[in-house]
Structure 1
Amino acid sequence: MNTLSNPVNQVRPYLLSSPALLLYIGLFMIPLIMTLMLSFYSYDVDRGGVVAEFSFTNYVEVLSDSYFHGIFFRTFALSIAVTVLCVLLGTPEAYILHRMSGRWKSICMLAILGPLLVSVVVRTLGWAILFGSKGVINESLLAIGVIDTPIKLMFTNTGVIIALVHVLVPFMVLSVWASLQKLDPMIENAGLSLGASPFIVLRQIVVPQIMPGILSGSLIVFALTASAFATPSILGGRRLKVVATTAYDEYLGTLNWPLGAAIAVLLLVANVIIITTYNKFIERKYSQAFK
């Protein structure tokens, strides 16, 4: 009897994957669908708050109000800046780490991944201590005479970007390092032996082969930055709102849950559109550039 025609064998893959599928549905799909449904509800204080009436009012308010336009623009500008810095810092780090051997590789890997073992809130509070007007950075620079007045880093874009890069650069390093593991070092040696300069070897041999790692790492960093809450909330405060903190304020500040849900859904949609477009653009660009 042909085992492929056995109904049990045909259903077995679905049975084996069903626990993970049920977990995915329960922890992700159901809350997402409930948030989407909530975003179409109305909010009326006189009628008790959330009113289960279908309406596009929340989306119209977010899409037509310049206040929300500024928040979304700030969020994605921060995301782009953090992503670019993580690519510029994480890619060379991963390449150097790949070229290391023995004990030093383990030590450097531990140093890079060590921050991931600490809560993002704890790390952000550490940066708040460093960034304060009487923090370690300003006090040190004042003591050696580099500056006359404290540098303002708290509640600024610069401070948030520095902290987010520290939080997210390990994800870029891991993504690029995983691609470098598949790279045969003999290919680089062959290019050098044929007269190519190290820069040419790096640009035309190494970079095209690790581009999937750079792409995946940048997508991860961008998505995590756009949805970051703890770091912008602590270091940005009330002066530097991003989409995540705005949705939080609508949920727990004004108690306008439908508007907060609409903001969250629009952030998700914008993230998906940007990431999909970026993915297709980069793949097409580099497939043509390195032919």
Structure 2
Amino acid sequence: MATLDDSRADVAPWLLSAPALLLFGALLFVPLVLTLLSFRVFSDVAGVQAAYTLKHYAEVLSNPYYDEIFLRTAGLALAVTLLSVLLGVPETIVLARMKRPWQSLCLLIVLGPLLISVVVRTLGWQILLGNNGVLNDALQALHVTSEPIRLVFTMTGMIIALTHVLVPFMVMSVWATLQKLDPQVEWAGLSLGGSPLRVFRRVVLPQIMPGVLSGSIIVFALSASAFATPALIGGRRLKVVATAAYDEFLGTLNWPLGASIAVLLLIANIAIVMGCSRLAERRFKHIFE
């Protein structure tokens, strides 16, 4: 009887989670299977045909037009990730040292952008960054500039808007690591004569680096595959990989080429994420041993 009860106890969690696993498994694997469309032949007259080819991958990899788009996407993702680290890490440390209820209130303000649609946020940035927007009006009123600074339809505008969208993910990753940090270790370093800067560099920073790297991976992956913000702020002149794939699917109706672009973006993201994860595991494994 005990054995039967134990077997039921082992199976029960799987049965309870099976509907959610099936749903999320379908949402993950069905789109991945559909990317096999990238191997199909496309004709401007007949559309997608039953034959198979590697022509679309060769076109993306050999065409300087797509090289520029992929490089632009990588530069955008790196810039957003760097800014998210520079803004999110100090912000999280300050939040962690606040007293309640100010800590909860400020944390809610920082994470508040996640409660708003990304399209609404991006349209708000369009209004702020426009030639007649609030930012340019303020700069001209303060006589910082004599004419509007062009920020919409530029890389700078995309970086600013995406950083605002993705900083909360960095904050959450570092916050989770800071909750495991024993404050007595920092106090011990200060009591032994270490300056606050040295204690932070030698004691605090190594312990929160796993959270920083995790947040960087999340921010990089999300910014590299972002669509709404680059489409609205960057426009069609500054295409990134996601908007290029979108145009192939709905503009030229060349679904195999669009799928090829999406697959190459997925492969690049997976390679970067796995490389950073391996680096984090090897570099900071001793911290948790």
Question: Secondary structure of the equivalent of 1:46?
Answer: coil
TM-score, normalized by length of structure 2? 0.94
Which one of the candidate residues 225, 228, 241 is aligned to 2:226? 228
Q: What is the distance in 1 between the residues matched to 2:278 and 2:260?
A: 27
Q: Which aligned pairs between 1:94-243 and structure 2 lie closer than 5 A?
A: 94-243=92-241
Kindly provide the amino acid, as one letter, of the partner of residue 77 in structure 2: S
Tell me the matched-pair count: 289
Q: Paired residue for 1:45?
A: 44
SS in 2 for 1:169: helix
Give me the whole-angstrom Cα distance separating, in 2, the residues matched to 1:148 and 1:165.
Answer: 27
Aligned to 1:83: 81
Q: In structure 2, what is the Cα distance between the partners aligned to 1:224 and 1:4? A: 46
Matched with 1:260 is 258
Shift of 1:168: 0.5
CA separation in 1, counterparts of 2:148 and 2:214? 38
Unaligned runs of 5+ in 1: none
CA shift for structure 1 position 62: 0.6
TM-score by length of 1: 0.93
Partner Cα separation in structure 2 for residue 136 and residue 110 of structure 1? 25
**What code does the residue aligned with 1:226 have?**
A
SS in 2 for 1:52: strand
Q: Deviations over 1:183-209 (max 9, x none)?
A: 111111111111111122111211121
Cα contact 1:138–1:151 (8 A) shared by 2: yes
Separation of aligned partners in 1, 2:240 and 2:131: 23
Cα deviation digits, residues 155-210 of structure 1 (max 9, x gap) = 11101000001010011011101111111111111111111111221112111211
Does the aligned pair in 2 maintain the 1:4–1:10 contact within 8 Å? no
> Which sections of structure 2, spanning at least 5 residues, go unmatched?
none
Contact 1:131 1:153 in 2 (8 A): yes
The question of whether the paired residues in 1 share the 8 Å contact of 2:210 and 2:284 is answered with: no
Q: Among the aligned pairs, what percent are the same residue?
A: 59
- The residue aligned with 1:18 is 18
Moved more, 88-97 or 192-201: 192-201
The separation in 2 between residues aligned to 1:29 and 1:95, in whole angstroms, is: 38
Query: Structure 1: how far apart are the matches of 2:150 and 2:105?
Result: 34
Higher mean C-alpha deviation, range 193-202 or range 72-81: 193-202
Given residue 32 of structure 2, which amino acid in structure 1 is its aligned partner?
L
Q: In the aligned structure 2, how far is the partner of 1:276 from the partner of 1:77?
A: 19
Farther-moved stretch of structure 1 (221-230 vs 104-113) = 104-113
RMSD of aligned alpha carbons? 2.0
Aligned match of 2:31: 31
What's 2:3 paired with?
3
The residue type paired with residue 272 of structure 1 is I
Distance 1:136 1:166, change over 3 A: same
Indicate the larger mover: 148-157 or 278-287.
278-287
